[in-house]
A = this chain, B = another copy of it.
Amino acid sequence: MTDFNKLVEELKELDSQGMFGEDFLQTWEKSDDEIAATLAVADALRDLRERNISTKVFDSGLAVSIFRDNSTRTRFSFSSACNMLGLAIQDLDESKSQIAHGETVRETATMISFMADVIGIRDDMYIGKGDAYMREVIEAVRDSHKEGILEQRPNLVDLQDDIDHPTQALADLNHIIHEFGGVENLKGKKIVMSWAYSPSYGKPLSVAQGIIGLMTRYGMDVVLAHPEGYEVMPEVEEIAKKYAAESGGKYSRTNDMKEAFTDADVVYCKSWAPFKAMEERTELYGNGDFDGIDKLEQELLEQNANHKDWACTEEMMEVTKDGKALYMHPLPADITGVSADEGEVDATVFDRYRKELYMEASYKPYVIASMIFLSKFKDPAKVLKELEARGTERRLTEK
């Protein structure tokens, strides 16, 4: 059980002013203090909830969700986060809406925001599109708020774009911090972000990029491992290098999975598509060349099939630190013999870490709630104390 007061004191020392009234997209747009504040508020909100103390800061209000890709866990994490703050979800289902009828992003963004306090968007399918779309939405609602059309300015939470997956990366970071007993203990730890084989194709790069773009801030030895041809965005690698240098950590890249795993403290194994292929796919999509997309998909599947040896096997785990590296995955994983004939991870490895994997996922709703909380309150520490003092029961208890 975390210590609420310790978290609040910690929070007082952190400058999160820059998050007030703003949005949360890539983690590298946020200062170290802001990242630390996000985790502190997340843990504090979790502590209040575990003590059956209501964290509702809204009596009414809408949280708009826009999912341009399938999602179970992120959808439920967003709903959970908004619900615990008192907001009702209104999903913008583009198939049901008139967006098909040629509505501009700017107009739609305003039309759905008259009573929206938050907008959560997942748009990770096409390189150069998701992040750009979110910024268009932000600009639209900021303008409409300035013009007095919107009474409140909804703040955007990036639920995964084409570059970063901030809610995942921060949940992962919080998981590692809790596993290693404090952020100070991350220094010098080796974490491997490794590509792994999956029979499916075209998975976003944003998880891998999110990990190297965030973990390098804490003095860790971050290694990106993938077969040749699975390079990520160079811009993100530049960020990783910069953070590694600043934090006294390391960032390196290898095409040798075993070398990467050797003495690793944490191994994060996940499939993704090559950046260049994703760029090509976006272009084909832009041209409406769906035959081209099908052809590309076939090529990608064949290319993947050449790297079935890239899997988180028991054998691979053996070379990690004491054979006991922390195994991580955003889920769902392609588990060999379970959800795929050949996949990202051995069933025995997955099962051994199942509890940790579920715990990893459990941080996400609180990270999202924290992002919203910090966008709404200038003095988050004060509000958290207010909530504790108010002491409203989340669930009625027998008196």
Contact = CB atoms under 8 A, between A and B. Distances in A.
Interface of A: 46, 49-50, 54-62, 64, 67, 70-73, 75-77, 79-80, 83-84, 86, 88-90, 92, 96-104, 107-108, 110-112, 114-115, 117, 144, 147-152, 200, 331-332, 334, 338-340, 355, 358-359, 361-362, 365, 376-379, 382-383, 386-387, 392-396, 398-399
Contact of A59 (B56, B114, B150): B56
Contacts of A394: 58-61
A361 B92 CA distance: 17
B90 A88 contact: no
A200 to B, nearest CB: 7
| 3 nearest A-B residue pairs (beta carbon) | A80-B115, A72-B97, A102-B339
B98 A70 contact: yes
A111 B151 CA distance: 35
A122 to B, nearest CB: 12
Contacts of A387: 396
13 contacts: A49-B151, A56-B60, A70-B97, A72-B103, A76-B90, A80-B90, A84-B115, A102-B334, A102-B339, A110-B358, A111-B361, A114-B362, A376-B395
Nearest to A140: B358
Given A102-B340, A117-B395, A396-B386, A60 B83 contact: yes
A114 B383 contact: no
A147 B84 CA distance: 22
Contact of A398 (B49, B150, B332, B383): B383
A76 B114 contact: yes
B70 A101 contact: yes
B70 A111 contact: no
A392 B86 CA distance: 14
A320 B57 CA distance: 49
A55 B144 CA distance: 23
A374 to B, nearest CB: 13
Contact of A386 (B50, B75, B98, B399): B399
Nearest to A100: B70
